[in-house]
């Protein structure tokens, strides 16, 4: 049953030749690579001997954006411009993702990611900030919030993992020995496009340029190895163990769910809203899993309103 689901999820598209696929990738990779490396907002810092790449734009109270698995800082590209008029917006590539270093001797569990993230914000001099997490980034945000609540103004969880409802297919299959290697080795650009397209409500937004952003880390051997290592490190007990702490959290919390999220079901956001005291829940009917691409204005508007409401209450 599981094998059938996994292999159907990774069904390869064979009507395009390998040359056509590689041409599509090459047409955008050079442009994207140059744009990212030349960005005046691109910064680096060293955490535990490894390079972390991050981007900082705007002035005001800091907002730190945490991506999930299969993505990196690019996933916030439509939201950042909507926030920088009032806030200093920081987005980073987590260890093993994007342009950050990809050591395979580092624990990529969300529990350890939260610890490394604490080193990161300390290193760049952040004392207190707004934290926003998507997908696994939401799990990192939950752990950070219960361990370091004094460092946060508030937290926002967008299509976030929760409790023991994760990991889900096809990510959980990648953690399986041999099978994970086989699946990732057979994953081509066309197959991955199917996975991304399933994660969006507005299917027409799956453009070649967007696909190149998703695909770029997986187009290298080091990126693929890090991706499997990330999947193998995942343990839902990291979140199960903080359940009682989440029930006592006093930080203002915003939970946003894309109603058409094909990967994480409604039970996750429902559980979070029920568990975290006085949390605010927003349902977005036209949002898929990658809701940052589907409805960036709705996400940004809700974040700004949430921050302003919290400030008015203090």
pLDDT at 4 over 80: no
pLDDT of residue 198: 95
More confident: 245 or 33 = 245
pLDDT tens across 97-129, in order?
A: 999 999 999 999 999 999 999 999 999 999 999
Residues paired with residue 57 on neighbouring β-strands, in sequence order: 89
User: Taking residues 48-61, what's their average pLDDT?
Assistant: 96
pLDDT tens across 179-229, in order?
A: 455 555 556 788 889 999 999 999 999 999 999 999 999 899 899 989 988
pLDDT of residue 77: 97
Residues paired with residue 50 on neighbouring β-strands, in sequence order: 47
Give the chain's mean pLDDT.
Answer: 86
User: Taking residues 269-289, what's their average pLDDT?
Assistant: 97
- Asked which of 21-25, 135-139, 141-145, 147-151 is least confident by mean pLDDT, the reply is 21-25
Confidence of residue 79 (pLDDT cuts 50, 70, 90): very high
pLDDT of residue 175: 52
pLDDT of residue 173: 54
The three state secondary structure string of the chain is: CHHHHHHHHCCCCCCCCHHHHHHHHHHHHHHHHHHHHHCCCEEEEEECCEEEEEEEECCCEEEEEECCCCCCHHHHCCCHHHHCCCEEEEEECCCCCCCCCCCCCCCCCHHHHHHHHHHHHHHCCCCCEEEEEEEHHHHHHHHHHHHCHHHEEEEEEEEECCCCCCCCCCHHHHCCCCHHHHHHHHCCHHHHHHHHHHCCCCHHHCCHHHHHHHHHHHHCHHHHHHHHHHHHHCCCHHHHCCHHHHHCCCCCEEEEEECCCCCCCHHHHHHHHHHCCCCEEEEECCCCCCHHHHCHHHHHHHHHHHHHHHHHHC
pTM beyond 0.75: yes
Residue that has been written with the tokens 């689901």 in this structure: 5
Domains annotated on the chain, with CATH: 2-309 (3.40.50.1820)
């Amino acid at each position: 049953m599981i094998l059938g689901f996994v292999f159907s999820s990774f069904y390869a598209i064979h009507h395009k030749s390998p040359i056509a696929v590689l041409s599509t990738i090459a047409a955008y990779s050079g442009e994207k690579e140059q744009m990212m490396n030349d960005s005046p907002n691109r910064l680096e810092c060293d955490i535990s001997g490894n390079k972390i790449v991050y981007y900082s734009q705007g002035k005001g109270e800091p907002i730190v954006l945490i991506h999930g698995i299969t993505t990196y800082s690019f996933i916030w590209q439509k939201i950042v411009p909507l926030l920088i008029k009032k806030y200093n917006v920081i987005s980073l590539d987590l260890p093993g993702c994007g342009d950050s270093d990809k050591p395979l001797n580092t624990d990529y569990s969300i529990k350890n990611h939260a610890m490394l993230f604490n080193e990161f914000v300390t290193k760049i001099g952040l004392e207190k900030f707004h934290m926003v997490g998507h997908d696994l980034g939401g799990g990192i945000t939950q752990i950070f919030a219960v361990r370091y609540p004094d460092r946060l103004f508030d937290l926002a969880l967008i299509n976030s993992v929760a409790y023991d409802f994760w990991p889900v297919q096809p990510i959980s299959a990648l953690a399986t020995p041999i099978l994970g290697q086989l699946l990732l080795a057979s994953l081509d650009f066309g197959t991955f496009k199917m996975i991304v397209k399933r994660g969006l409500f507005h299917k027409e937004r799956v453009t070649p340029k967007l696909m190149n952003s998703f695909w770029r880390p997986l187009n290298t051997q080091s990126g693929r190895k890090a991706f499997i290592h990330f999947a193998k490190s995942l343990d839902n007990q990291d979140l199960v163990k903080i359940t009682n702490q989440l029930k006592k959290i006093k930080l203002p919390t915003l939970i946003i769910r894309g109603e058409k999220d094909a990967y994480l079901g409604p039970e996750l956001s429902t559980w979070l809203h029920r568990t975290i005291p006085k949390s605010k829940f927003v349902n977005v009917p036209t949002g898929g899993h990658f809701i940052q691409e589907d409805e960036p204005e709705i996400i940004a508007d809700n974040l700004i309103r949430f921050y302003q409401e919290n400030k008015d209450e203090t």
